[in-house]
């Protein structure tokens, strides 16, 4: 059985952990493990927590990758969950499908090239990267 103990941290450490979190659903422990360069934690069966990555050719976006799309001055966000592009409460298998649901014009989905429009921030990344730049 795993035992836990409470540790005291100052405000700067707390802020660094919070800034590392990739969403409200991610635990502080997972963010701190990433900051420390530790592998993701495992559950009681020994398997890694989290889900499958999204893979296309030689591009792999790990579970938890943050997604961002800017269109006509609006910023749309999503994430990779269990190998899918999740935007709002819908999931997609392709970046273009996800871009289409993010951006609508008068109720009609926009036809966008998701490879050109999405930026990604993988759990290990410090900066955003245009998805298409990962192909190079």
pLDDT in tens, 65-86: 999 999 888 899 999 998 999 9
Q: Look at residue 115 in the predicted model and tell me its pLDDT.
A: 95
pLDDT band at 47 (very low <50, low <70, confident <90, very high): very low
State whether 115 and 89 are in the same domain.
yes
Say whether pLDDT at 27 is over 90.
no
**Secondary structure E strands in the chain:** 54-56, 59-61, 66-71, 74-81, 84-87, 90-92, 104-105, 108-109, 118-121, 129-130
State whether 21 and 58 are in the same domain.
no
Q: Tell me which residue range forms the domain holding 27.
A: 9-42
d(CA 90, CA 102): 10
Q: Are 51 and 81 in contact (CB under 8 A)?
A: yes
Mean local confidence (pLDDT), 104-120: 82
State whether 69 and 94 are in the same domain.
yes
pTM of the model: 0.62
Among residues 122, 130, 25, which one has the least CA distance to residue 80? 122
Q: Look at residue 30 in the predicted model and tell me its pLDDT.
A: 80
């Amino acid at each position: 059985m795993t035992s836990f103990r409470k540790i005291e941290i100052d405000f700067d450490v707390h802020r660094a952990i919070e800034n590392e979190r990739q969403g409200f659903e991610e635990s502080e422990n997972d963010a701190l493990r990433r900051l420390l360069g530790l592998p993701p934690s495992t559950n009681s069966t020994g398997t890694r927590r989290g889900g499958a990555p999204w893979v296309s050719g030689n591009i792999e976006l790990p579970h938890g990758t943050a997604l961002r799309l800017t269109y006509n001055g609006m910023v749309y966000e999503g994430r990779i969950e269990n190998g899918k592009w999740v935007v709002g409460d819908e999931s997609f298998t392709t970046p273009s499908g996800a871009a289409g649901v993010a951006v609508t014009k008068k109720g009609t989905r926009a036809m966008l090239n998701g490879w050109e429009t999405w930026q990604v921030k993988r759990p290990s990344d410090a900066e955003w990267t245009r998805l298409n730049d990962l192909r190079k």
